Amino acid sequence: MNPEILIVGQGLAGTTLALQLYRSGIPFLVVDNPSISRSSRVAAGLFNPVVFKRMNLGWRTHDCLKEAMSFYRFVEQLTESSFCHANGMHRIHGSADERKLWDERLLELGWEHHIEDTLPAENHPWLNQPFDGARVKSAGFINTLEYLHSVGNWLKNQHLLIEATFQYEALRTSEPMLQWQDLQFNKVVFCEGFKLAENPWFPESYLNPAKGEVLIIEAPDLPQEVINGKVYCVPLGNNQFKVGSTYAWNQSNPLPTEEKKQELIQALQKMLCVPFEVIDHEAGIRPTVIDRRPIFGASTLHSNIFAFNGLGTKGVVLAPLLTKEIAQFFLDGTPIPEDYSIERFQWKQSH
Ligand SMILES: Cc1cc2nc3c(=O)[nH]c(=O)nc-3n(C[C@H](O)[C@H](O)[C@H](O)COP(=O)(O)OP(=O)(O)OC[C@H]3O[C@@H](n4cnc5c(N)ncnc54)[C@H](O)[C@@H]3O)c2cc1C
């Protein structure tokens, strides 16, 4: 049987879409060359419902978090792996105002699921906390490398993953079905990260990619918990932490830079009261959309060629719910919410 859908890219977007199609019983195949974009592999994998600056909850937070937790548990069982760490996160209050807002939110209905009381700085003597700190209990992280690796192995075992570079010109669209190599598909979904900007099927401008850099540090005196302050530290085991992250727009060079390394080291020195040693440094380019919302929908040039992109800084928490809705769209045509439909751009750009 020919697969119904070809997914191009096995980052967070393509991997999560593949498994939601699997759950919906829609046949698919994935093609990926992991060396083209490293965004999902470099990511710290944090999920955090709270926007600290304004002490708001993020876009569709409740539904996204709920689906993400049940989805990642399902994948852990399916692939017999363990990558989801929903153990909360310690927030270092960024200012007196943020701390005040935090304490006000604690009195509002619904927030008790997300945040806890502020604790005095002395409780975390390894941190510099001029405004004290508190725990976000609904936050956590997934080890993205482990997630992509476990699902990649599972897909390979099921003969559902081809490791290759997808060349745009190799897609034949003249037949009733779309044809790539000797295979036929009803639909192609591009989940190619920041490379969407080079895709001839999507000539409109959607992306404003944001390059990000992270350090891997060793800090034996730092407890293995997630810390979020000016920068974040995510525990990797063996006294190691991922520290990030930086932002730089309009950069196509994916290599790490000395400038951003120093920026992270300086922020870390201010945040930690314990010694650390830098042991690695990585970079990736986040596929961020101009209006900061994800995009899904068909090309204006071919109604069976789709893009799913723009997970930006929140791929871990957004991908499971959005791909569930996309699978439903493919199953029975249930419309995609306007918020992240690609049509919001296509309509504007054609008028
Ligand atoms: C430093 C940094 C830290 C981050 N931290 C977090 C975080 O803590 N939490 C969070 O939720 N998000 C985080 N993100 C953002 C998150 O990583 C992105 O939302 C996510 O990576 C987007 O996934 P994607 O699958 O769309 O793109 P990508 O990760 O870029 O994946 C695209 C895949 O397609 C492949 N590909 C592209 N073109 C082709 C082709 N022609 N043929 C074959 N394969 C192809 C690529 O090699 C890659 O495997 C971070 C990002 C960075 C850079």
Instruction: Give me the CATH number covering residue 312.
Output: 3.50.50.60
The CA-atom distances, in angstroms, between 29 and each of 126, 278, 281 are: 48, 39, 33
Q: Which residue has the tokens 């897609």?
A: 171
Give residue 286 CA to ligand 1 midpoint distance, Å.
6
Residue at 90 is within a domain: no
Q: Do residue 223 and residue 273 come from a single domain? A: yes
Q: Do residue 229 and residue 344 come from a single domain? A: no
By most ligand atoms within 8 Å of CB, the mutation choice from 313, 317, 340 for ligand 1 is 313
Q: What is the pLDDT of residues 245-269, one digit of tens each?
A: 999 998 888 999 999 999 999 999 9
At 3, the pLDDT band (50, 70, 90 cuts) reads confident
Residue at 323 is within a domain: yes
Asked if 217 contacts 276 with a C-beta cutoff of 8 angstroms, the reply is yes
Q: Do residue 303 and residue 282 come from a single domain? A: no
Residue at 242 is within a domain: yes
Q: What are phi and psi of 151, to 5 degrees?
A: -70, -40
Residue at 67 is within a domain: no
Alpha-carbon distance of 244 to 261, in angstroms, equals 10
- Rounded average pLDDT over 40-48: 97
> According to the model, what pLDDT value does residue 205 have?
87
Q: Do residue 301 and residue 190 come from a single domain? A: yes
Q: What is the pLDDT of residues 141-174, one digit of tens each?
A: 999 999 999 999 999 999 999 999 999 999 999 8
Asked if 92 contacts 228 with a C-beta cutoff of 8 angstroms, the reply is yes
If DSSP codes are grouped into helix, strand and coil, which group holds residue 318?
A: helix
Residues with beta carbon inside 6 Å of ligand 1?
8-14, 31-34, 36-37, 39-40, 42-46, 165-166, 191-193, 195, 212-214, 244-245, 284, 286-287, 309, 311-317
Q: Do residue 304 and residue 174 come from a single domain? A: yes
- Rounded average pLDDT over 174-196: 93
Element (H, E) at 68: helix 61-79
Give residue 334 CA to ligand 1 midpoint distance, Å.
27
- Rounded average pLDDT over 96-110: 93
Model confidence, pTM: 0.96
Alpha-carbon distance of 104 to 113, in angstroms, equals 15
Expressed as residue numbers, the domain containing 227 is 210-286
DSSP string, 266-307: HHHHHHBSS--EEEEEEEEEE--BTTSS-EEEE-SS-TTEEE
Q: Do residue 194 and residue 303 come from a single domain? A: yes
- Rounded average pLDDT over 59-87: 96
Alpha-carbon distance of 8 to 195, in angstroms, equals 11
Q: What is the pLDDT of residues 307-320, one digit of tens each?
A: 999 999 899 999 99
Give residue 14 CA to ligand 1 midpoint distance, Å.
9
Q: Do residue 295 and residue 175 come from a single domain? A: yes
Residue type, 52: F
Residue 114 has pLDDT above 60, yes or no: yes
Residue 96 has pLDDT above 80, yes or no: yes
- What sign has the CA pseudo-torsion 3, 316, 247, 307? positive
Give residue 40 CA to ligand 1 midpoint distance, Å.
4
Q: Do residue 198 and residue 232 come from a single domain? A: no
The C-alpha R_g of the chain, in whole angstroms, comes to 21
Q: Do residue 150 and residue 280 come from a single domain? A: no
Q: What is the CATH number for 249?
A: 3.30.9.10
Q: Are strands 277-286 and 210-218 parallel, antiparallel or unpaired?
A: antiparallel
Q: Among 266, 286, 306, where does a domain finish? A: 286
Residue at 273 is within a domain: yes
Asked if 178 contacts 172 with a C-beta cutoff of 8 angstroms, the reply is yes
Asked if 178 contacts 305 with a C-beta cutoff of 8 angstroms, the reply is yes
Q: Which residue has the tokens 């697969």?
A: 3
Q: Do residue 218 and residue 277 come from a single domain? A: yes
Residue at 61 is within a domain: no
Q: Do residue 201 and residue 301 come from a single domain? A: yes
Q: Among 265, 286, 307, where does a domain finish? A: 286
54: left (phi over 0), alpha (psi -120 to 50) or beta: alpha
Residue at 84 is within a domain: no
Give residue 284 CA to ligand 1 midpoint distance, Å.
8
Which residues have a Cβ under 8 Å from the Cβ of 307 and sit 6 or more positions away?
189, 190, 191, 196, 199, 201, 202, 206, 295, 296, 297, 299, 342
- Write down the mean pLDDT value for the chain: 95
- Residue 306 β-bridge partners: 189, 298
- The total domain count for the chain is 2
Residue at 109 is within a domain: no
Q: Among 256, 286, 316, where does a domain finish? A: 286
Q: Whose CA is nearest to atom 23 of ligand 1?
A: 12
Q: Do residue 153 and residue 258 come from a single domain? A: no
DSSP string, 73-124: HHHHHHHT---EE---EEEE--SHHHHHHHHHHTTSTTGGGTB---B-GGG-
